């Protein structure tokens, strides 16, 4: 412990944490990395620690003034981090000036428009979780403490996974900005550990009883003759996710022009002549923008076509999107979030355990396994990579008919489970 804040005490302190007796919450940490001033205080009922700066860059007299300003903020329930940031920019030589975080993110987003599949998601994350807090800070002035506070703010909202996503986005964003803009001379260092902690893979699937409860419940929650709990298009979207096993974002961005009709020749089991074939017609959903960046298409089973026919009757005839914005009738980049909100409403109204739209995809994959669909075909339905890289190079078969059989069988299983009981 240091009884008073003095130069002699700061320079003579041994390794460890030393509280300063006459400065409430002020700590001098001495370790192999040097000497750092830290401030311990309580914010929103939680004990927190802020880094004020390194000694002697932040001298004894300067840290006394900074400590006083930070204590005043804490005593009034305010976060002292903005005060620390502004003080560093104004006092520490070389910290001010240079391109800001906002500039770096603008450079990154220019690149992201052509290199990321969903640049609007990256922009939304930056606008919500990054730019309001450190947008005005010069990149050269960024410290670990900036990122620690940024990520902790997200974690305190209960969004641990989101904190990891923002951390990963910023790693990419600063690296790209440094490559694209010569005025950004260095990539800032941020915490190495995952900001939100280690993530566990979800394992939730709906069993048969839950599937039936959801399917029938969606109809009850989306009546067309009175005010619904869930809009009918969103109820149809959740059903389509379950029937087709595709990703939420892929369905949200689908257009009517992506759905076409085609024909194929298949063996005719009723024909007497060996090797006889017949021509069948079916609809195909092409998914040009997807996670793997490879073209993907599935043959739609009759149940999916029935759902789409109903959806078509609810959407303006001149609209290109399956799920346009209710307000503008045009494409809505965040429509997939509406699917999540609809799922949340369904869970609450139907009294179901927690599940997400992506869990419907997992349910479909599990269901296909239960009806003996070969794993290789079920994985292709989900557009997962299968086989070796060499096989991917040489095997160019599209497996469309095989996937049609798989999805037809899965849709028939859903219809069998959800059919009204006979009286």
**Within-domain flag for 411:** yes
Is the pLDDT assigned to residue 423 strictly greater than 60?
Answer: no
Q: Are residues 237 and 157 in the same domain?
A: no
Q: Are residues 325 and 232 in the same domain?
A: yes
**Within-domain flag for 275:** yes
User: What pLDDT digit, counting tens, does each position of 290-318 carry?
Assistant: 666 677 999 999 999 999 999 999 988 88
* pLDDT band per the 50, 70, 90 thresholds, residue 381: very high
Q: Are residues 119 and 218 in the same domain?
A: no
Q: Examine the fold and report which residue of 91, 121, 153 is the final residue of a domain before the chain moves on.
A: 91
Counted residue by residue, the chain has a size of 423
d(CA 253, CA 230): 20
Q: Note down the domain range covering 401.
A: 208-418
Count of other CB atoms within 10 angstroms of residue 153? 16
* pLDDT band per the 50, 70, 90 thresholds, residue 185: confident
Tell me what pLDDT residue 53 has: 85
Structure tokens, 250: 């892929």
Is the pLDDT assigned to residue 422 strictly greater than 70?
Answer: no
Q: What CATH number is attached to the domain comprising 43?
A: 3.30.160.390
Q: Are residues 167 and 290 in the same domain?
A: no
**Within-domain flag for 328:** yes
Residues near 200 by beta carbon (within 8 Å), at least 6 away in sequence: none
Q: Examine the fold and report which residue of 91, 109, 141 is the final residue of a domain before the chain moves on.
A: 91
* DSSP-derived secondary structure letter, 410: H
d(CA 176, CA 376): 37
Q: Examine the fold and report which residue of 91, 112, 134 is the final residue of a domain before the chain moves on.
A: 91
Question: In terms of Cα–Cα distance, which of 32, 39, 34, 42 is closest to 11?
Answer: 34
**Within-domain flag for 203:** no
Measured CA distances, 72 to 75, 80, 406 (Å) = 5, 9, 66
Measured CA distances, 5 to 60, 146, 153, 193, 348 (Å) = 7, 26, 31, 33, 57
d(CA 247, CA 254): 11
Q: Are residues 12 and 112 in the same domain?
A: no
User: What pLDDT digit, counting tens, does each position of 56-105 carry?
Assistant: 888 888 899 999 999 998 998 888 888 887 777 666 544 556 788 999 99
d(CA 361, CA 196): 25
Q: Are residues 76 and 122 in the same domain?
A: no
- Between vectors from CA 194 to CA 189 and to CA 199, what angle results, nearest 5°? 160
Count of structural domains within the chain: 3
Could you give the angle at which helices 208-221 and 400-418 cross, rounded to 10 degrees? Answer: 80
Instruction: Compute the Cα dihedral for 205, 207, 213, 216 and give only its sign.
Output: positive
405-409 mean pLDDT? 96
Q: Are residues 39 and 133 in the same domain?
A: no
Q: What percent of the chain has pLDDT over 90?
A: 47
**Within-domain flag for 190:** no
Residue for token pair 């399917």 = 215
Tell me what pLDDT residue 21 has: 84
Average model confidence (pLDDT) for the chain? 87
Measured CA distances, 151 to 10, 162, 195 (Å) = 31, 9, 6
**Within-domain flag for 193:** no
Going by DSSP bridges, is the β-strand pair 46-55/259-267 parallel, antiparallel, or unpaired?
unpaired
Q: What percent of the chain has pLDDT over 70?
A: 91
Count of other CB atoms within 10 angstroms of residue 222? 19
User: What pLDDT digit, counting tens, does each position of 188-227 carry?
Assistant: 888 888 877 777 767 889 999 999 999 999 999 999 888 8
* DSSP-derived secondary structure letter, 352: P
Q: Are residues 107 and 69 in the same domain?
A: no
Is the pLDDT assigned to residue 260 strictly greater than 90?
Answer: yes
Q: What CATH number is attached to the domain comprising 343?
A: 1.10.443.10
Q: Are residues 382 and 256 in the same domain?
A: yes
3-state secondary structure of 130: coil
Strand partners, 277: 267
Strand partners, 163: none
Higher pLDDT, 369 or 268: 369
Q: Are residues 275 and 158 in the same domain?
A: no
325-350 mean pLDDT? 79
Instruction: Compute the Cα dihedral for 120, 130, 136, 178 and give only its sign.
Output: negative
236-256 mean pLDDT? 94
Tell me what pLDDT residue 388 has: 66
Tell me what pLDDT residue 110 has: 94
Structure tokens, 84: 């620390």
d(CA 148, CA 50): 9
Q: Are residues 281 and 352 in the same domain?
A: yes
CB 180 within 8 A of CB 172: no
**Within-domain flag for 159:** yes
Q: Are residues 221 and 128 in the same domain?
A: no
The DSSP annotation for 163-215 comes to HHHHHHHHHHHHHHHHHH-TT---PPP--SS-TT-PPPPP-----HHHHHHHH
d(CA 225, CA 289): 36
**Within-domain flag for 175:** yes
């Amino acid at each position: 412990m240091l009884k008073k804040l003095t130069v002699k005490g700061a320079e003579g302190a041994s390794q460890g944490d030393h509280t300063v007796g006459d400065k409430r919450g002020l700590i001098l940490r001495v370790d192999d990395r040097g000497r750092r001033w830290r401030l311990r205080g309580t914010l929103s009922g939680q004990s927190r620690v802020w880094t004020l700066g390194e000694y002697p860059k932040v001298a004894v007299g300067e840290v006394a003034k900074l400590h006083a300003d930070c204590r005043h903020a804490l005593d009034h329930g305010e976060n002292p981090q903005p005060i620390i940031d502004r003080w560093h920019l104004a006092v520490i030589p070389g910290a001010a000036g240079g391109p800001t975080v906002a500039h770096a993110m603008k450079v990154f987003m220019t690149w992201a428009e052509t290199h990321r599949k969903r640049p609007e998601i990256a922009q939304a994350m930056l606008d919500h979780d990054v730019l309001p807090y450190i947008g005005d800070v010069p990149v050269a002035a960024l410290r670990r403490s900036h990122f620690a506070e940024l990520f902790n703010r997200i974690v305190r909202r209960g969004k641990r996974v989101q904190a990891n996503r923002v951390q990963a986005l910023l790693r990419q964003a600063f690296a790209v900005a440094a490559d694209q803009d010569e005025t950004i001379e260095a990539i800032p260092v941020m915490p190495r550990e995952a900001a939100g902690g280690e993530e566990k893979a979800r394992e939730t699937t709906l069993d048969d009883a839950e599937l039936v409860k959801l399917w029938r419940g969606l109809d009850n929650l989306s009546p067309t003759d009175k005010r619904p709990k869930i809009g009918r298009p969103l109820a149809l979207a959740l059903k389509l996710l379950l029937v087709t096993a595709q990703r939420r974002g892929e369905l949200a961005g689908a257009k009517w022009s992506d759905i076409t009709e085609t024909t194929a020749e298949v063996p005719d089991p009723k024909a007497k002549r060996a090797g006889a074939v017949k021509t069948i017609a079916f609809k195909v959903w092409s998914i040009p923008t997807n996670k793997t960046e490879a073209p993907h298409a599935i043959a739609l089973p009759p149940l999916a076509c029935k759902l789409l026919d109903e959806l078509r009757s609810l959407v303006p005839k001149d609209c290109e999107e399956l799920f346009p914005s209710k307000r503008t009738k045009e494409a809505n980049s965040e429509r997939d979030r509406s699917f999540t909100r609809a799922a949340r409403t369904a869970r609450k109204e139907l009294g179901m355990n927690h599940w997400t739209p992506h869990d419907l995809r997992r349910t479909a994959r599990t269901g296909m396994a239960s009806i003996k669909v070969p794993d290789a075909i079920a994985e292709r339905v989900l557009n997962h990579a299968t086989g070796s890289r060499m096989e991917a190079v040489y095997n160019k078969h599209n497996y469309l008919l095989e996937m049609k059989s798989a999805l037809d069988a899965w849709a028939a299983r859903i219809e069998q489970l959800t059919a009204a009981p006979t009286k």
